[in-house]
Structure 1
Amino acid sequence: MYICNETLNHPQNISDMNNKEFRFQGLDAKTELKLALMLIFPSLMIMLGILYGSHLLFPKISFLLPLLFGVTTVVGISIIILKQLTNLVREKEWIINIDDNFLNLKFRGINHHIQLSDIKIIKNLGNIGLRYLTIKTKSNVIKIRVGNTGLAPFSKQKDIDELDAFVQYLKPYIDKHFNEKVLKNIVQPNIIPNFGVYVAKGEKVKYSIINRMKPWQVVVFILGILVLIMIIFVNIMEYIFFK
């Protein structure tokens, strides 16, 4: 397994953080959103084509069967298309330099030069095979996306390990200058190294309604929304194809 030496020799204070560099393949949130939007039209056309085709060929079949088949097909094809689209993206490398009390993050020709003391929030979220790292200052938000799953085929495992090593290297500074936000809605808070939301000391820790929920309440809330969307979608499709 890939191991970065930075995880073994992280600094104990900010004065030790000199001339460290981390490189990994990934995307930013803006590029990730563009790829997702590019999938909407073909996915919708495939779904409507399956529903309409099943209505013509099997007019007496239950609506749920072609719907389930359509969802499965759309997910499978979306994974294939997303993989191809990701391969077309040039310059997927993030380069992060830590020099004294500054972070320099470079991605696709854009440089973000940030003083560590200007960072207000650090969010390190994700799960197995996926990392969402957000660094927020008063004037800027940098969102780093790294993943090697079917729906996030941006990177390899070594890239995930390198991002984890970067966060681990910052951890002594985070522990000293940040408060960790209590996330009651997380089932497995240790699913990735240093999982959490960290707010700079002196900044107000804000909690949304979702943050205050327990895991089972979040599940019920999400399922309720999905059921509502499904009911509306089914009624619309039945009206169009099966009236």
Structure 2
Amino acid sequence: MENKEFKFQGLDAKTELRIALLLVIPALMMMLGTLYLSHILFPNTFFLVPLVIAALITVLGSIIILKFMTNQIKDQNKEWIIRINGEETMTARFRNRVYTFNMKDIIMIKNMGNEGVRYLTIKTEDQLLKIRVGNTGFAPFSSEEDIKKLDAFIDYLKPYINENFNTKVLKNAMNPNIIPNFGVFVRKGETIKYSIINRMKPWQVIAMILSIGIIIMILFFNIMEYYFFK
């Protein structure tokens, strides 16, 4: 591989999580406030109507707030710079943090996501890079061009990955071709570990998520009825 440099706008996982946690309180306020006002103004309305309205207001409001929050982050604080010295070393810089490691020390590369979002993880024995790039409503911190640059970075690594890594079989992946080079790649010689979800088929994962969602909704309605709708 020849020496190469890649630059793109994105976030790391810690910053993404921090923003998500900051968004929880206003989202809950919008949800509970809308449900309470609906109960006061329209007490005899079928319970699903206020729920749907509250969900829509919460989603739209959260997207607006999230867009505002990410716009406050300066471009230089969203820039990833990755330099590769052939097959020798990789240096990744994000804000004031610099990660430098030998290519042969990479244990795992995980490239997940969908059409508008990329979740890239690069793991060594003692370092972990979690790169987030996206241009959707809930990931408005990059552009389509940034996504293409990240895809080009993985495409550049692919010959090295094919030679030195095994591919982890993900039975739960509904569409493994949804993004270029989708998958989890584990260094040859390393044991590939599978979680319960990895072994499940897509329909089983969907059924599990729906079941959990129904249980949460039942608990939520019971709590709302007990505290607000007496």
User: Fold match, TM over 0.5?
Assistant: yes
Among 17, 29, 51, the alignment partner of 2:2 is 17
Superposition TM-score, scaled by structure 2 size:
0.96
Residue in 2 that maps onto 1:241:
228
Counterparts of 1:95 and 1:235, CA distance in 2: 49
SS of 1:60's equivalent in the other structure is coil
Give the residue type in structure 2 aligned to 1:38. Answer: L
Residue in 1 that maps onto 2:22:
38
Q: Is the 1:63–1:238 contact (alpha carbons within 8 Å) kept by the matching residues of 2?
A: no
Counterparts of 1:134 and 1:175, CA distance in 2: 17
Q: Deviations over 1:98-152 (max 9, x none)?
A: 0131110000121000111111110000000110000011111110000000110
1:115-194 pair list within 5 angstroms: 115-194=102-181
1:17 shift after superposition: 3.0
Residue in 2 that maps onto 1:7:
none
- 1:203 partnered with 2:190: yes
SS of 1:194's equivalent in the other structure is coil
Q: Deviations over 1:8-64 (max 9, x none)?
A: xxxxxxxx332x100000000000001101111111111111111122222222222
1:104-119 pair list within 5 angstroms: 104-119=91-106
Residue in 2 that maps onto 1:66:
50
Stretches of structure 1 lacking an aligned partner (at least 5 in a row)? 1-15
SS of 1:183's equivalent in the other structure is coil
**Higher relative contact order (Cα pairs below 8 Å, separated by 6+ residues):** 1
Counterparts of 2:176 and 2:222, CA distance in 1: 38
Give the residue type in structure 1 aligned to 2:45. Answer: I
How many residue pairs match? The answer is 227
Stretches of structure 2 lacking an aligned partner (at least 5 in a row)? none
Q: List, as ranges, runs of 4+ consecutive aligned residues in structure 1 with deviation greater than 6 Å.
A: none
How many percent identity over aligned positions? 61
Superposition TM-score, scaled by structure 1 size:
0.91
Residue in 1 that maps onto 2:59:
75
Give me the CA root mean square deviation.
Answer: 0.9
1:205 shift after superposition: 0.1
Q: Is the 1:146–1:154 contact (alpha carbons within 8 Å) kept by the matching residues of 2?
A: yes
Counterparts of 2:214 and 2:101, CA distance in 1: 43
1:238 shift after superposition: 1.6
Among 85, 94, 97, the alignment partner of 1:99 is 85
Q: Deviations over 1:136-187 (max 9, x none)?
A: 1111111000000011001111100000000000001000110000001111
